[in-house]
Amino acid sequence: MKFEALEKVGAMSLLSPWGQNMHLPAGIFHWSGRAKAEAEINGTIGTAKGKAQQVFGAGGNKNVTMALPSMKKYIPNLDPEQIFPYAPDKGLPAFSSAWRNWILRKAGEDARALDPLLGQCQVTPGITGGLHNTLKMFVGPGDPVVVPDKRWENYDNIIEINIGAKPVEFPFFTGDRFNIDGMCDAIRSVWKQQDRAILVLNFPNNPTGYSPPRVEADAIKKSLLELTASGDKWLVVIFDDAYEGYVYDSDAANRSLFYEMLPQKGLVTIKLDGISKEMLWYGGRIGTITMAYPADWVNAVGRDALDKEWGNKFAGISRSTYSNCSMLAQSVAAAALQDLDQILEERKVCTGILAERYRIFKEELKKIDTSRLQCNPFQGGFFNFFDIVPKNGPAAEDLADHLLKKYKTGTIPVHFGSLNGIRVAFCSVEAEDIPKLCENLNNAAKDLMP
């Protein structure tokens, strides 16, 4: 495939050498697609198919994918064709278009402006797959990736260990606010070396649960639009929206910052989603990559050409890494997404439980001496995060070990770069245990920081 549209709008120069070369050769899928439309005898499909009567002992001459009753019996309410065949490498169309509708619905009044710029959703194995595929597309060994110091530890596995790229970090907080200046400085420092910068933002944040208040979301938007206004340099912002919608404070932005800013010359925005949290199916391994194209790209070559060429590149990664994603999970999610109101109603049960824990946690935090353990500001998400305050305080691992041994309380120590603290997953702690949890945190801190 020739990437003429991507060349024309200058997008190829944003990619890593690996991303520039990545493609899915026209091959099996081209010919099986044609055969589906043109053939009476189709010898292109690499899945065993036969008459339902022969395969399942019922169903007559209907042509079905062969499957084992021992497997099918666990999933009685779906048609075998929704379970057993391969999904397309870009994703099941019913799922990816339903997800795009869901994104537009969350856009609310902004959907009208966003829709013409919003690309197709590329299906990935969870948000990890989305991060891996997107980051590899844009950064190669040694390349910088701008990230906050407080970030999901798996970013470093992907960026450093897998890709060999380099996290360029800025402090997440300035006081109790997101550090906009620090973010912009880090981007500028990258631009001194090269013409493109990649930034990953994640709200509600893992590990802190921080979600910017609405006014702050507006300030972040303004800063990024100003920074890129000249169009001389490029910024690619990857929004890791794993926890979108899990916000328990009415002042905080309840939707992704992705919606706050339209892309422009100099600014490409990419939204990464997962059904893991949004539809509460962690083990389904389904996520999406959705790009918003600058208007001048769309004007120059049309959205279809951009979708086709980006789609080929992402399908190339998919095909050469894991081929495609769970058919069943996509089928189920696509079916459920047909009634979004119902899903949102059901999710309220879960967010309600989490919001109660959040309120209790906020209250019980008062028990904890902030000269030892300082809880970071949080308004949402699944976790909160405690800095170990004294510079000469214990290593986070020692505190976590002590919490386990003496107080039978499990936490995750986070200790890398300039961070030394512990992450607490209130998403999985019952409300009635939170007072005791906070007491244990305070006592354990006191034991090790007398």
Using CB under 8 A as the binding rule, the residues of this chain from 139 to 178 that contact a copy of itself are 153-154, 157-158, 161-162, 164
Helix (H/G/I), strand (E/B), else coil: 350: helix
Q: Which residue is listed with tokens 């010359």?
A: 265
In sequence order, which residues have a C-beta less than 8 Å from that of residue 17 and are 6 or more positions away? Answer: 140
Find out whether 402 and 446 touch, Cβ atoms under 8 Å: no
Which residues within the stretch 395-414 sit at the binding site for a copy of itself (CB under 8 A)? 400, 404-405, 407-413
First-residue to last-residue Cα distance in the chain: 66
Which residue in 97, 429, 447, 449 binds a copy of itself (CB under 8 A)?
429
Task: Note whether 320 binds a copy of itself by CB under 8 A.
Answer: yes
Give the per-residue contact string, 196-235, with a copy of itself (x = CB under 8 A; - = no): ----------x-----------------------------
Task: Note whether 314 binds a copy of itself by CB under 8 A.
Answer: no
d(CA 301, CA 170): 36
Which residues within the stretch 86-145 sit at the binding site for a copy of itself (CB under 8 A)? 86-87, 124-126, 128-129, 132
Alpha carbon separation from 322 to 95, 125, 308, 345 (Å, rounded): 18, 9, 20, 34
Residue among 145 and 332 whose Cβ is closer to a copy of itself: 332
**Least Cβ distance, residue 31 to a copy of itself (angstroms):** 5
Residue among 255 and 357 whose Cβ is closer to a copy of itself: 357
d(CA 109, CA 102): 13
Q: Which residue is listed with tokens 């959705």?
A: 290
Task: Note whether 52 binds a copy of itself by CB under 8 A.
Answer: no
Residue among 296 and 439 whose Cβ is closer to a copy of itself: 439
The stretch near a copy of itself (CB under 8 A) out of 98-106, 168-176, 221-229, 428-436 is 428-436
Residue among 4 and 339 whose Cβ is closer to a copy of itself: 339
Count of residues that bind a copy of itself according to CB under 8 A: 122
Which residues within the stretch 32-51 sit at the binding site for a copy of itself (CB under 8 A)? 32, 34-36, 38-51
Alpha carbon separation from 221 to 217, 227, 237, 256, 277 (Å, rounded): 6, 10, 11, 11, 25
Which residues within the stretch 70-89 sit at the binding site for a copy of itself (CB under 8 A)? 70-71, 73-78, 83-87
Which residues within the stretch 243-272 sit at the binding site for a copy of itself (CB under 8 A)? none
Residue among 6 and 235 whose Cβ is closer to a copy of itself: 6
- Name beta bridge partners: 329: none
d(CA 420, CA 152): 14
Task: Note whether 347 binds a copy of itself by CB under 8 A.
Answer: yes
Alpha carbon separation from 321 to 133, 315, 324, 446 (Å, rounded): 10, 10, 9, 48
Residue among 222 and 406 whose Cβ is closer to a copy of itself: 406
Residue among 93 and 213 whose Cβ is closer to a copy of itself: 93
Task: Note whether 303 binds a copy of itself by CB under 8 A.
Answer: no
d(CA 78, CA 106): 29
Torsion, CA 173, CA 175, CA 181, CA 187, rounded to 10: -20
The stretch near a copy of itself (CB under 8 A) out of 17-25, 169-177, 228-236, 364-372 is 17-25
Residue among 97 and 157 whose Cβ is closer to a copy of itself: 157
Which residue in 4, 13, 28, 302 binds a copy of itself (CB under 8 A)?
28
Which residue in 170, 172, 383, 385 binds a copy of itself (CB under 8 A)?
383
Q: Is the dihedral of CA 433, 439, 441, 447 positive or negative?
A: negative
d(CA 312, CA 317): 9
Residue among 159 and 262 whose Cβ is closer to a copy of itself: 159
- Distance, CA of 383 to chain centre: 16
